[in-house]
């Protein structure tokens, strides 16, 4: 009887499969691209609800992917969370400062965006390769 209960607990421990989580991550990336739409003046034209949903889904994906990969790829998890936090901090700094085109903060922000994207793709690939 104890073995049956133990097997049921092990089966229900991860309710979402790794491939499903990877597809959810791809969906969050598409949502973030859709919610970043701007007009010619640089003003956001995306609905506030889409921006909020995109932000919440991205945070949920980052947390779930980090927890899921923590035992299998701890360094990747740390890089994923770190790049997301650094990107968030730099975007907040850019929002509150008047930075001109080509300023060091803009260049650093673009470098971190590329690093964050590469780490994101690496996380998606790792999730697809992991067995459930």
Q: How far apart are CA 129 and CA 122, in angstroms?
A: 11
Amino acid 9: pLDDT: 47
- Buried/exposed code over 19-37 (b: 16+ C-beta within 10 A; e: otherwise): eebbebbeebbebeeebee
pLDDT along the chain (132 residues), means of 10: 52 71 94 90 88 94 94 93 94 83 86 96 93 76
Axis-axis angle for helices 104-129, 74-96 (nearest 10): 150
- pTM of the entire structure? 0.80
């Amino acid at each position: 009887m104890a073995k049956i209960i133990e097997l049921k607990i092990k089966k229900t421990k991860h309710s979402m499969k790794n491939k499903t989580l990877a597809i959810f991550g791809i969906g969050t990336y598409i949502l973030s691209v859709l919610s970043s739409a701007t007009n010619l003046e640089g003003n956001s034209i995306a609905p506030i609800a889409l921006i909020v949903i995109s932000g919440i889904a991205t945070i949920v994906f980052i947390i779930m992917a980090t927890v899921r990969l923590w035992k299998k790829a701890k360094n990747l998890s740390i890089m994923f969370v770190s790049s997301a936090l650094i990107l968030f901090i730099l975007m907040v700094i850019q929002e509150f400062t008047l930075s001109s085109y080509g300023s060091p903060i803009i260049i650093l922000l673009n470098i971190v965006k590329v690093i964050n994207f590469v780490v994101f793709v690496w996380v998606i690939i790792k999730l697809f390769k992991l067995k459930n």
